[in-house]
Amino acid sequence: MHYHFKVHKEGNAYWAQGLELDGCFTHAKTKKELQERMEEVLNLYLSEPEDSKYIFPLPKKSVRGKNIVRIKVHPRVEIAMLVRMSRLKSKLTQQKVADKIGIDVSAYQRYESPKAANPTWTTLDQIKRALPILRDLLAN
């Protein structure tokens, strides 16, 4: 999954704004440093607190324009975000999803944590069956 940033040059420095994510900005003195900061700010931005009810907009498939760059989301952040978003859209609690897939809620919570999300294919398949919306998101 990639989100898009528009890069701006101002004097001897650069700044970038996330196009799909309101309020996702960063700046740097060099283009190389800006690239690193865009990756960092994107992943921090998408690493919502557990109790947040916010559902992020998905990235557009493509964005046209000048100075647009695609920034890849870290895989753990992507999995955690998609699992959490699917659960929220399904209007289920973490406990209900954990019960549906037959695991303890504390084990399930790892899948919504960007620092810990690393499900096996089997677990991901179980989560997809419990959250059909996730199956649709992963298909895109």
- The alpha carbon dihedral of 126, 131, 132, 137 has a sign of negative
Tens digit of each residue's pLDDT (9 = 90 or more) over 98-127? 999 999 999 999 999 998 888 888 888 888
Confidence class for position 86, pLDDT limits 50, 70, 90: very high
Tens digit of each residue's pLDDT (9 = 90 or more) over 26-57? 999 999 999 999 999 999 999 977 778 888 99
State the CATH class of domain 2-72.
alpha beta
pLDDT at 25: 96
pLDDT at 124: 85
Report d(CA 107, CA 27) in Å as an integer. Answer: 37
**CATH of the structural domain 75-139, one choice from 1.10.260.40, 3.40.50.620, 1.10.1060.10, 1.10.3720.10:** 1.10.260.40
